[in-house]
Amino acid sequence: MRSLAVVVPKPDSQRAIDGLEDEGVYDDRRKVREHDADHVELPVTAEPDAVPFERAIAQADPDPRAPDLGDRLRERGWSAAERERAPSSWAVLGSVILADFTDCPRPGEVGAALLELHREADTVLDRGDGVAGEHRTPDVSVVAGDGDTETVHVEHGTRYALDLAAVMFSPGNKAERARMGDATGPGERVLDMFAGVGYFALPMARAGATVTAVEKNPTAFRFLAENAQLNDVAETLDTILGDCREVDAPADRIVMGYYDALGGGPVGDAASTPGYLDAALDNLVSGGVLHAHSAVPEAELWERPLSRLRAGCQRAGRPAPTVLDTRRVKSHSEGVFHVVIDARVP
């Protein structure tokens, strides 16, 4: 049996797969196959119209897609009880696989199996205890592969260069990143107060908005500036290294992508230092839209974040906000959810 595949460079493989899936021609019944040291073969049901590729080939002996991680571990002699303790999910970010190995026996064997499942990847990381400290530094360790933690991850056409051992990147925020690109457009002024490597700033700049992106972690800032160039938005994405509470940037839309962004009153070394919400409202024009992220226990949804938002508006002498939308982005921890409130402030 001969089956069709398209040959693409390895760094472009995940972006190409996403595009092929969107186009409806990706054949998920077959595995991605290594073509040579620099290319992979992506299985397709027909030649794509929108996704670029170097050439189409006929595979004489196509590889059926491997059943799943559990089957591969069973082949390695893992018992049912051991397989239950293996990661149940993982994320492929460019050439890096990120998973939680907290209770997993023999992580190296699982890492090797994951690399067999995802030929486009070359490193497997244990995500450890998440992120820590003011700069939200990830706690990761290499489980398998060559250990290269720098990669370029592509989502909905946006390219994110990053080092997963040095800067935070949450796979669970994928839909929110795409949604922010859809929420804005040409002519709009946007302030991203916690930009990181450009999680939200890049999709919004690519949509045509003029974006001011603020980040205080020097490593994340370096990737933010690089990603502005990588995505051809350097002319409309102004990057600032520093504390977002000290930035004067009037905006029609402000993104506060930090769990403690709604934390009540003044924060910092002096009472005169404004809180994050205070600083946001100082920059948000009348009628502007605020996207406020928060981590909230389920029992306090939605009263706690909404009451903090209303209190902040009252402190700033602004009228009560109009809530446009509330969303649960993902589970943050047991009984706690990462949520977003969209509100228009008169």
Could you list the residues known to form a binding site for S-adenosyl-L-methionine, using ranges: 170, 177, 215
Spatial distance between the Cα atoms of 162 and 184, rounded to a whole number of angstroms: 24
- Report how many helices (DSSP H) and strands (DSSP E) the chain contains, helices first: 9, 19
Contacts 24+ apart (CB under 8 A), 38-42: 38/9, 38/10, 39/7, 39/8, 39/9, 39/10, 40/7, 40/8, 40/10, 40/13, 40/119, 40/120, 41/5, 41/6, 41/7, 42/5, 42/6, 42/7, 42/8, 42/13, 42/16, 42/17
CA separation for the pair 345, 253 (Å, rounded): 10
CB-based contacts of 238: which residues, under 8 Å, 6+ apart?
A: 210, 211, 212, 213
Binding annotation? 170, 177, 215
Candidates 254, 247, 259, 108; CA nearest to 173 is: 259
Q: Which two tokens stand for residue 124?
A: 């497997």
Q: Which helix (H) or strand (E) holds 55?
A: strand 55-59
- 203 closest CA partner among 172, 235, 187, 179: 179
Residues whose CB is less than 8 angstroms from the CB of residue 144 and which lie 6 or more positions away in sequence, other chains included: 107, 108, 110, 111, 112, 114, 115, 123, 124
